[in-house]
Amino acid sequence: MSSHSGARYWGNVEVIEEGDTYRISRVEIKPRHGIKPQIHYHRNEHWVVVSGVAKVTCGDTEILLNRNESTYVPAATLHKVENPGLIPLVILEIQNGEYLGEDDIERPYDLNLIKPTSENK
């Protein structure tokens, strides 16, 4: 099993196949959970929804994807995915790039791209 597979607080990741410049994973996100906003510089991602509904934010664009729909996340683009539904969201994620290491992931709070606001309450 790949070191990238395993349970997360929001669901589970299972690496299906891995090569030097690509990784294919089955990502399951629990209802009403999501992956925090992140950015990486050395890989692109394709996401295909297998079941459930995905709320995807990529840059300034937010879309809803249903089963059998997909989206592309280019490198160096802030992105996140959420499961707004009541059933588990299952996505096939295809990562492709010259470097796939986990240390290529940055969170926006680390980058100061997103600041918590109290004035919006």
The structural domains of the chain, with segments of one domain joined by +, span 6-111
Question: pLDDT tens digits for the chain (121 residues)?
Answer: 456 789 999 999 999 999 999 999 999 999 999 999 999 999 999 999 999 999 999 999 999 999 999 999 999 999 999 999 999 999 999 999 999 888 888 877 655 554 555 544 3
- What is the pLDDT, as a whole number, of residue 78? 94
Q: How many angstroms separate the Cα of 91 from the Cα of each of 31, 48, 75, 109?
A: 13, 5, 19, 25
**pLDDT value for 104:** 82
Ramachandran assignment for 102, one of left (phi > 0), alpha (psi -120 to 50 degrees), beta (any other):
alpha
pLDDT of residue 112: 54
**Residues for the chain: how many in total?**
121
pLDDT of residue 3: 63
Contact 42, 32 (CB under 8 A): no
Distance between CA atoms of residues 35 and 79, nearest Å: 9
pLDDT at residue 103 in the model: 80
Residue 56 contacts residue 27 (beta carbons within 8 Å): no
CB atoms within 10 A of CB 70: 14
Q: Which fold has domain 6-111?
A: Jelly Rolls (2.60.120)
